[in-house]
Structure 1
Amino acid sequence: MLKSFDIYSQNNILKIIVALNLLLVGTGSLLYTNRLISRLEDREEHYVQLYAKSIAYLFGSNSINAGDLNFVTSEILEANKSIPAIYVNPDGQIAGKLNIEVPSNLTDAEIEQFLRKTIDEMRNRHQALVVDMGNGERGLVYYNNSSLLRQLQYFPYALLTILTALGVLAYLAFSSSRRAEQNRVWVGLAKETAHQLGTPMSSLMAWVEYMRSDPAQYDESITDEIEKDVRRLETITARFSSIGSIPTLKDENLNEVVQQFTDYLARRISTKVKMSVSSQLPANQTVKINKLLFEWVIENICKNAVDAMKGVGELRLNLTPLPHQEVAIDITDTGKGISKKNIQKVFTPGFSTKQRGWGLGLTLAKRIVEEYHNGRLFVKSSEVGKGTTFRIVLSAER
């Protein structure tokens, strides 16, 4: 069992390693992409500066030769095919636009309004570049990032989303693997226990028969009690053998099953614990259960209750009908109760407030009820110093 807990610790360490690697990859990708975006922004700003210089050159010069035009067309206009820009002259009028898609069928006034709105968006994004026209006159060039750069800016967030999704999937995969491994440990332990019990039980039965062959020497009542305990061991062995297999469910009279088993259990727990059973169910109420496994559930909860009461107190079982063709079994003790922080932990494998024990009783009980009987097992109520009520809910549909 200790090895299984070591395995779980290793799985937790592996989860942390995977999470850290994903974090490092995500952080590195984000930093690299931001650096790349910064370089592209500088490059696009350089293109816009060239555009601004060309405007100042064209509109601020009185003479333009063929070489000047070649410089403007080859180095400026052809260089910028994706960066949207708008030039506003010193008079505040829109005098030019570049790479701006204006909707068709707009009037001149609507086009003006559209471009002014675009300028407002550009102003919020980048500071306008000043165009020195000479004679103290200055125009302004507004611009925005190209569509490619805008798409690239969303890339880190998309990457982080993907890495987060991968991290969640990895966590779920590890958790599923842990549960599967935990189940294999339980199943292996249960079947090995059943196997190991087989030999001493056979020996005990042989001793019972031997003692019965000489009634003068051995008290028959003692022999009967020993036989009952051997039968009990056989029942326990059958329970352990059922772990990991799909149990067969049969219609059983719930009142009789609970009453018979509690009668047996009452003789084997502390005599200072008063045990009682009450039922509001019909006398012939049947429920599909596996009797051996279901008695195990009752036993685990009741023994936990006796431990919580330190062998002194009152243990009450109450069977009641519920809506939607369900029945409930409430098991109430007058023990020390469960603190709020531990209520969610009581069904966790390995959790126990006792110095001795594996902390598997309630875990197995919950699994038997919920996985094998399609029911529910939970802490209905608990108050520290006053006691706890566990509730089992089963379907009574026929």
Structure 2
Amino acid sequence: MLKSFDIYSQNNILKIIVALNLLLVGTGSLLYTNRLINKLELREEQYIQLYAKSIAYLTDTTHSNSGDLNFVTSEILQANQTIPAIYVNPDGEISMPLNFTLSATMTDEEKQQYLREKRDEMRKNHMPVVVEIGNGVRGLVYYNNSGSLRQLNYFPYALLAILTSLGVLAYLAFSSSRRAEQNRVWVGLAKETAHQLGTPMSSLMAWVEYMRSDPEQFDGSITDEIEKDVQRLETITARFSSIGSVPTLKDEDLNDVVQQFTGYLARRISTKVKMSVASQLPAGQTVKMNKLLFEWVIENICKNAVDAMKGVGELRLNMIMLPHQEVAIDITDTGKGISKANMQKVFNPGYSTKKRGWGLGLTLAKRIVEEYHDGRLYVKSSDVGKGTTFRIVLNTD
């Protein structure tokens, strides 16, 4: 059984490492911030405890030197400029509210109602602090976190959002850089291949002309076949030269292009593969295309299909009209099929299920269709062990 490989699988490992590092930084920051918040909450609670004791001193008339105590406790009360607090005396009356903004237009009843609502809200967040006034009499101090501490509670989430954004940006930048590098490699490889083919083709053409000049010595039919092969090499060279350049698109009859090329291809694939072409397109339906490159797309998909069938099976091409002025070419084989996990990978550069092959055919086909012809190429359907259907969608505008 053939095993698939992906020459870019190591890049996925690098992405995982980057993601883990971001996760560790985010988790560490979250834990540290939570620890800091807990310390600040404890500090504010201790401050409220002190605040409660100062109220106890102010309301307890049994203490001596009340003047000095009044001065000290007043300083403590005035020092709290951030923590909202409400004192409820033993009779249940609200007094001494701190750090609340009460409108001057509010009536006393409205102020009391507002403070009662705040008291109920505070009760949900913190247990009230008991104020021991003396003789078993007790009051209660309700409080809430300061504005700074409440803002700090949101900091871990903001930090995680920032780290997530940085991670997404890093991923996009990495993917874009990788795609650009891949494109440069494939374009350079294609143009270098075309350049290297030029010299032997020129030599072959010269030999063909030489053989034609002496028909008695060289069989004309053999010369004709050699010339066809040379012309085929010229077509391949033209295709490779077009990679990386903006191709010229012309209106071509889609039925004719597909019929002619599949007729040529049928004579060069396994005789055990039954190849058929059907069309529901209107007669003379044209599409803007570069014929050489588009034939390359058909060839790559069909040859992959023949390989998937191991040279035995059925290969069907069906052309249909779609809504929105689009046409589709469905290429269906009866091969081994593609698993759901690999449906997207088949278009990745370097991905192949063959021992011999660089995994470039479908990658180049997808680029030709989508970047040069403004169309779409994708796996329409596939069943493991039954076969696969690739769909090419082109605009007729």
Q: TM-score range by the shorter chain?
A: over 0.9
Aligned-residue sequence identity (percent) comes to 79
* Residue 304 of structure 2: aligned partner: 304
Deviation at 1:143, TM superposition (A): 0.8
Deviation at 1:65, TM superposition (A): 3.9
**Aligned partners of 1:159, 1:105: CA distance in 2, in Å?**
41
CA contact (8 A) 2:57 2:73 kept: no
- Paired AA for residue 369 in structure 1: V
User: Any stretches of 5+ residues in structure 2 without a counterpart?
Assistant: 1-5
**Aligned partners of 2:35, 2:310: CA distance in 1, in Å?**
67
Tell me the secondary structure at the aligned position of residue 317 of structure 1. Answer: strand
CA contact (8 A) 1:58 1:64 kept: no
Corresponding position: 1:144 with 2:130: no
* Residue 219 of structure 2: aligned partner: 219
Deviation at 1:388, TM superposition (A): 2.3
User: Any stretches of 5+ residues in structure 1 without a counterpart?
Assistant: none
* Residue 262 of structure 1: aligned partner: 262
CA separation of 1:24/1:54 partners in 2, compared to 1, >3 Å: closer, same or farther? same
**Aligned partners of 1:265, 1:20: CA distance in 2, in Å?**
50
RMSD: 2.0
**Aligned partners of 2:123, 2:39: CA distance in 1, in Å?**
20
- Paired AA for residue 73 in structure 2: V
Question: Which structure ranks higher in relative contact order (CA pairs < 8 Å, sequence separation ≥ 6)?
Answer: 2
**Aligned partners of 2:315, 2:9: CA distance in 1, in Å?**
38
Deviation at 1:11, TM superposition (A): 4.3
Tell me the secondary structure at the aligned position of residue 345 of structure 2. Answer: coil
CA separation of 1:203/1:167 partners in 2, compared to 1, >3 Å: closer, same or farther? same
CA contact (8 A) 1:37 1:152 kept: yes
* Residue 326 of structure 2: aligned partner: 326
Q: Map 1:1-398 onto structure 2 (within 5 A).
A: 8=8, 11-62=11-62, 65-74=66-75, 76-397=76-397
How many residues matched?
391
Instruction: Spell out, residue by residue over 1:255-304, the C-alpha distance to the aligned partner (whole angstroms, 9 max, x if none).
Output: 22112211211121112222222222233221100011000001001111
- Paired AA for residue 179 in structure 2: R
TM-score (norm 1): 0.92
TM-score (norm 2): 0.92
**Aligned partners of 1:271, 1:19: CA distance in 2, in Å?**
51
Tell me the secondary structure at the aligned position of residue 78 of structure 1. Answer: helix
**Aligned partners of 1:60, 1:91: CA distance in 2, in Å?**
15
**Aligned partners of 1:73, 1:202: CA distance in 2, in Å?**
103
**Aligned partners of 2:71, 2:148: CA distance in 1, in Å?**
28
CA contact (8 A) 2:54 2:77 kept: no
CA contact (8 A) 1:273 1:312 kept: yes
Deviation at 1:313, TM superposition (A): 2.2
**Aligned partners of 1:386, 1:9: CA distance in 2, in Å?**
28
- Paired AA for residue 106 in structure 1: M
Deviation at 1:214, TM superposition (A): 1.8
- Paired AA for residue 114 in structure 1: Y
**Aligned partners of 1:382, 1:26: CA distance in 2, in Å?**
41
Tell me the secondary structure at the aligned position of residue 349 of structure 2. Answer: coil
CA contact (8 A) 1:187 1:243 kept: yes
CA separation of 1:28/1:390 partners in 2, compared to 1, >3 Å: closer, same or farther? closer
Instruction: Spell out, residue by residue over 1:80-122, the C-alpha distance to the aligned partner (whole angstroms, 9 max, x if none).
Output: 1111111111222223211122344333333222222211211
**Aligned partners of 1:281, 1:91: CA distance in 2, in Å?**
91
- Paired AA for residue 265 in structure 2: L
Instruction: Spell out, residue by residue over 1:299-351, the C-alpha distance to the aligned partner (whole angstroms, 9 max, x if none).
Output: 00111111122212222222222222221212222223333333333222222
CA contact (8 A) 1:47 1:79 kept: no
**Aligned partners of 1:58, 1:154: CA distance in 2, in Å?**
37
Instruction: Spell out, residue by residue over 1:207-227, the C-alpha distance to the aligned partner (whole angstroms, 9 max, x if none).
Output: 212221221122111111111
Tell me the secondary structure at the aligned position of residue 265 of structure 1. Answer: helix
Tell me the secondary structure at the aligned position of residue 217 of structure 1. Answer: coil
**Aligned partners of 1:319, 1:32: CA distance in 2, in Å?**
62
Structure 1, 347-356 or 203-212: larger mean CA deviation = 347-356
